[in-house]
Every structure is written in structure tokens, then in C-alpha cells.
């Protein structure tokens, strides 16, 4: 398995809106904490260290 960097979410707008909505009404500190929890949850879901390393590299734009 390797990191997917092509289109993988059928409803891009919906998924994106979920992310933005989740931050609605949060202070900067709350949002930062939320993002950190989200990253940790997704990282654990992925599990594969190679994929995580690829994602970390891809995030370095």
C-alpha cells in the first residue's frame, strides 16, 4: 500500500465542508487541539508507517 495522492473522495465539497464545519465556533486554541486529535486519529487509522512517512513528505510543499 502506498499513499493515495489522486482523487479518492467522491464528494469533495461535502467532505471539505465537514472539516470546516467542525471548526465552527472554536477558538484558535480549540481548533489547534482539535486538529491535533484529528491527525492522531487518522494516523492511527492508517497505521502503515510508510504511508505516514509519505504523507508527512507530501505535506512539505
Partner 1 sequence: MTAQTKIFETPLYPYARHPDQDATTPARHTAVVVGAGPVGLALAIDLAQMGVEVLVIDDNDKVSFGSRAICFAKRPLEILDRLGCGVEMVDKGVVWNLGKVFFDDRQVYEFNLLPEKGHKFPAFINLQQYYFEDYLVARARELQAEGAPISLRGKNKLTAIDQQSDHVMLEIDTPEGPYRLRADWLIACDGAGSPVRRMLGLDFVGEVFQDNFLIADVVMEADFPTERWFWFDPPFNRGQSALLHKQPDNVWRIDFQIGWDIDREKELDPANIDKRLKAMLGEDIQYELEWSSIYTFQCRRMEKFHDGRVIFAGDSAHQVSPFGARGANSGLQDTDNLAWKLKLIQDGTAPESLLDSYDAERIHGAKENILNSTRSTDFITPKSETSRIFRDAVLDLSERHDFARPFVNSGRLSVPCIYDGSPLNTPDALPEGPARARPGAPCPDLPLADGFLLERLGGRTAPRFQLLAIGVDVPADLAVPGLDLEVIALAPDATPALTERYLGEAQTALYLIRPDQHVAARWPGFDRAQVETALARALGKEA
> For binding to partner 1 (CB under 8 A), which residues are involved?
32-33, 36-37, 39-41, 44
Structure-block grid coordinates of residue 32: 489547534
Taking the complex as a whole, the smallest distance from the CB of residue 5 to partner 1 amounts, in Å, to 24
Q: Shortest gap between Cβ of 45 and partner 1 (angstroms)?
A: 9
Contact 55, 3 (CB under 8 A): yes
Residue 8 or 44 having the CB closest to partner 1: 44
- How many residues are recorded in the chain? 61
Under 8 Å between Cβ of 9 and 58: no
Instruction: Considering the complex, state which of residue 19 and residue 36 has its C-beta at the smaller distance from partner 1.
Output: 36
Amino acid at each position: 500500500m502506498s499513499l493515495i495522492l489522486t482523487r479518492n473522495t467522491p464528494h469533495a465539497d461535502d467532505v471539505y465542508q465537514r472539516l470546516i464545519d467542525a471548526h465552527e465556533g472554536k477558538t484558535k486554541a480549540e481548533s489547534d487541539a482539535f486538529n491535533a486529535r484529528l491527525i492522531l486519529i487518522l494516523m492511527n487509522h492508517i497505521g502503515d508507517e510508510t504511508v505516514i512517512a509519505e504523507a508527512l513528505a507530501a505535506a512539505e510543499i
